């Protein structure tokens, strides 16, 4: 639980490693047969610990030293993981492709993750079937086994973890595999780089990738370094712009935020980019935007809830078309409690300009809506905003309160026992 007061964010913030690039890194290491997987620049957030628990349940173990995580996989077996653990995250689903590749069999419960609408895994199943694995869907989950008999996977829709799984399971093939309609998110590109580092060859075309796993080099140990988290970076850029502040984000890959930067500029924010830094300078009123949230390189759905808040400060109506998770509107219901005028029409979120007010209790129901409610609390007029279930932010943002406090956010956090541990509340 946290109380936030109107604040202006100013200063510098260091971006952590990418949460969603960690899962395919684990998958790549298992697939490559490595006994030890070292992953540098790992953000120590809750979803990562859940993934490490999954590794333990499979028989492996791990060590954490600063932001370096070492995973030992020698004793890993393709056994069924506890449903309760598995359903706490989404990223763990890459274990399916990784185990199938390394052992020729895998059995996973249906995964969970943030409640942001339907999240089926039919495309992951399709990928395994397309390759000729035997696949059984039980009430409990999905079981796959056998050898690769075919070499073409064709996705009906673009899916990030589905593409990651397809790549991982293809590494078992004794010849080239072709994947069409694949997702191009930077985290997928990173998986390709992890595997290229150890000899797997990829040919990337506009709509398909061809994987040649035959040149894979068997490794005792592999090491990967995670890219900066583009969603954390985008969250800080949007937060700074929303609070009319000026923030320099450090350790980023600006190319991964191209559309976000373009949209912030189009709205009227000032942006300065250098090699691995972006500085944003906000203002009180923005030009309205039309945003399409879709797969990369389009605007990331994981930043849709955050920019919804900023667009309350537009001169006139803004529209966001949410094409990935049309039901990702948890934040809209909470923002309305603060006085926001936002309509939902099909997959469109229509945002009317207007002030929002604190003195309200709102609930964070998923990771990115928690981030959006923080921004709302930072721009709300009057009394502080009380965010229930704020802790969900720890699933994906490393040291979030420490970082926003350094930037000047005014808040206090109430621990379960009622102790206030951040005494900077104005």
Only segment of 26-34, 159-167, 232-240, 348-356 that touches ligand EPZ (CB under 6 A): 159-167
Catalytic residue among 25, 114, 183, 249: 114
Q: Which pairs count as long-range contacts for 333-336, CB under 8 Å and 24+ apart, including other chains?
A: 334/362, 334/363, 334/364, 334/365, 334/369, 334/373, 334/376, 335/308, 335/309, 335/362, 335/372, 335/373, 335/376
**Beta-carbon contacts of residue 131 (< 8 Å; ≥ 6 apart):** 148, 149, 150, 151, 153, 169, 170, 173, 177
- The answer to whether residues 287 and 264 touch, using CB atoms and an 8 Å cutoff, is no
Site for ligand EPZ in 366-395 (CB under 6 A): 367-368
Angle between helices 160-170 and 122-130 (to 10 degrees): 20
Site for ligand EPZ in 86-105 (CB under 6 A): 90-91
Contact flag: residue 29 with ligand EPZ (CB under 6 A): no
Contact flag: residue 129 with ligand EPZ (CB under 6 A): no
CB atoms within 10 A of CB 151: 18
Per CB under 6 A, the list member of 84, 118, 174, 284 interacting with ligand EPZ is 118
- The answer to whether residues 288 and 78 touch, using CB atoms and an 8 Å cutoff, is no
- The answer to whether residues 263 and 290 touch, using CB atoms and an 8 Å cutoff, is no
CA atoms within 13 A on the CB side of 322: 23
Per CB under 6 A, the list member of 7, 16, 18, 20 interacting with ligand EPZ is 20
CB closer to ligand EPZ out of 182 and 411: 182
Contact flag: residue 213 with ligand EPZ (CB under 6 A): no
Q: Which of 18, 56, 60 is nearest to 39 (CA)?
A: 18
Per CB under 6 A, the list member of 100, 324, 342, 356 interacting with ligand EPZ is 324
Q: How far is the CB of 370 from ligand EPZ (least distance, A)?
A: 10
Contact flag: residue 301 with ligand EPZ (CB under 6 A): yes
Contact flag: residue 124 with ligand EPZ (CB under 6 A): yes
Q: How far is the CB of 371 from ligand EPZ (least distance, A)?
A: 9
Render 85-154 in DSSP notation, one character per residue. HHTT-SGGGHHHHHHHHHHSEEEEEPP----SS----HHHHHHHHHTT-EEEE-SSEEEEES-----EEE
Only segment of 116-124, 208-216, 347-355, 381-389 that touches ligand EPZ (CB under 6 A): 116-124
- The answer to whether residues 425 and 43 touch, using CB atoms and an 8 Å cutoff, is no
Per CB under 6 A, the list member of 27, 112, 228, 396 interacting with ligand EPZ is 396
Only segment of 113-121, 243-251, 338-346, 402-410 that touches ligand EPZ (CB under 6 A): 113-121
Q: Hey, what are 28's tokens? A: 């790549």
CB closer to ligand EPZ out of 160 and 380: 160
Contact flag: residue 201 with ligand EPZ (CB under 6 A): no
Q: How far is the CB of 396 from ligand EPZ (least distance, A)?
A: 5
Contact flag: residue 165 with ligand EPZ (CB under 6 A): no
Rounded-to-integer distance, Cα 269 and Cα 334, Å: 26
Rounded-to-integer distance, Cα 232 and Cα 363, Å: 20
Only segment of 121-129, 246-254, 310-318, 351-359 that touches ligand EPZ (CB under 6 A): 121-129
Contact flag: residue 121 with ligand EPZ (CB under 6 A): yes
List the 318-322 sheet strands across, edge first.
Answer: 290-293, 318-322, 348-352, 341-345
Q: How far is the CB of 421 from ligand EPZ (least distance, A)?
A: 26
Contact flag: residue 160 with ligand EPZ (CB under 6 A): yes
Only segment of 34-42, 111-119, 171-179, 309-317 that touches ligand EPZ (CB under 6 A): 111-119
Contact flag: residue 157 with ligand EPZ (CB under 6 A): yes
Burial class (CB in 10 A: 0-12, 13-18, 19+), 399: middle
Contact flag: residue 172 with ligand EPZ (CB under 6 A): no
* Binding residue count for ligand EPZ, defined by CB under 6 A: 26
What is the CA 101 to chain-centroid distance, rounded? 24
- The answer to whether residues 102 and 59 touch, using CB atoms and an 8 Å cutoff, is no
Q: How far is the CB of 167 from ligand EPZ (least distance, A)?
A: 13
Contact flag: residue 302 with ligand EPZ (CB under 6 A): yes
Active site residue 1: no
| Footprint on this chain of ligand EPZ (rule: CB under 6 A) | 20, 23, 90-91, 114, 118-124, 157, 159-162, 183, 187, 301-302, 324-325, 367-368, 396
Would you name the residues annotated as active-site residues?
114
């Amino acid at each position: 639980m946290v109380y936030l007061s109107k604040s202006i964010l100013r200063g510098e913030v260091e971006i952590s490693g990418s949460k969603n690039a960690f899962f395919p890194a684990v998958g790549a290491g298992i697939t490559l047969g490595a006994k030890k997987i070292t992953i540098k620049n790992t953000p120590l957030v809750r979803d990562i610990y859940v993934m490490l628990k999954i590794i333990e349940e499979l028989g492996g173990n791990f060590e954490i030293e600063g932001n370096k995580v070492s995973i030992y996989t020698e004793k890993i077996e393709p056994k069924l993981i506890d449903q309760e653990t598995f359903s706490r995250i989404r990223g763990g689903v890459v274990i399916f492709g990784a185990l199938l590749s390394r052992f020729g069999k895998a059995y996973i419960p249906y995964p969970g993750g943030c409640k942001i609408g339907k999240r089926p895994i039919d495309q992951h199943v399709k990928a395994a079937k397309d390759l000729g694995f035997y696949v059984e869907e039980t009430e409990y989950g999905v079981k796959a086994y056998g050898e690769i008999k075919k070499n073409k996977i064709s996705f009906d829709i673009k899916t990030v973890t589905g593409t990651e799984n397809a790549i991982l399971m293809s590494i078992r093939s004794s010849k080239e595999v072709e994947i069409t309609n694949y997702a191009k998110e930077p985290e997928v590109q990173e998986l390709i780089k992890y595997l290229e580092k150890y000899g797997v060859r990829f040919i990337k075309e506009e709509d398909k990738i061809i994987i040649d796993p035959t040149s894979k080099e068997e490794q005792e140990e592999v090491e990967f370094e995670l890219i900066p988290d583009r969603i954390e970076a985008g969250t800080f850029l949007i937060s700074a712009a929303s609070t009319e502040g000026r923030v320099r984000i450090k350790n980023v890959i600006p190319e991964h935020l191209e559309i976000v930067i373009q949209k912030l500029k189009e709205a009227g924010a000032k942006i300065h980019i250098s090699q691995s830094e972006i500085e944003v300078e906000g203002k009180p009123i923005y030009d309205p935007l039309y945003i399409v949230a879709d797969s990369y390189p389009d605007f990331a759905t994981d930043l849709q809830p955050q920019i919804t808040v900023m667009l309350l400060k537009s001169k006139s109506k803004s529209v966001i078309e949410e094409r990935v998770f049309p039901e990702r509107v948890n934040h809209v219901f909470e923002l309305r409690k603060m006085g926001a005028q936002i309509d939902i029409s099909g997959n469109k979120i229509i945002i009317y300009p207007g002030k929002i007010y604190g003195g309200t209790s709102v609930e964070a129901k998923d990771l990115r809506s928690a981030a959006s409610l923080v921004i709302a609390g930072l721009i709300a007029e009057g009394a502080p905003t009380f965010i229930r279930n704020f802790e969900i932010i720890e699933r994906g943002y490393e040291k979030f309160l420490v970082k926003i406090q350094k930037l000047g956010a005014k808040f206090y956090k109430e621990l379960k026992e009622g102790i206030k541990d951040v005494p900077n509340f104005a």
